[in-house]
Amino acid sequence: MARTKKVASAGRFRANYGARIRHKVAAIERKQRAKQQCPYCKKFSVKRLASGIFYCKSCDKKFTGGAYFVKRD
C-alpha cells in the first residue's frame, strides 16, 4: 500500500492525479468534516449531512450553506 501521510484522505487517488490536486482535496475534506460554528447559536456543533445541508446538534436546526462548509457572512 502507498504512503498517504501527506495527503491523508486523498491518498485513495494515488499518484495519477498529481500532488497539487490531492493536497487541495485533502484540505477541503479536512475542513468539511470538522465541527463548524452554528449561525444561530454560535456553538461549534454543526455537522454536514449532505451537499449544502447542515445540522446543529445543539439548537436542533437544519439549514443550508455552502457545498462543503457553512458560509461565513
Count the neighbouring beta carbons within 10 Å of the beta carbon of residue 15.
9
Q: Is 4 helix (H, G, I), strand (E, B) or coil?
A: coil
Residue pLDDT, tens place only, 3-60? 566 667 777 777 778 888 888 888 888 888 888 899 999 999 999 999 989 999 999 9
Q: Which three cell numbers stand for residue 6?
A: 501527506
Count the neighbouring beta carbons within 10 Å of the beta carbon of residue 71.
10
Structure pTM?
Answer: 0.73
Let me know: does 63 contact 39? Beta carbons within 8 Å: yes
- Domains of the chain in sequence order: 1-33 (no CATH), 35-73 (2.20.25.30)
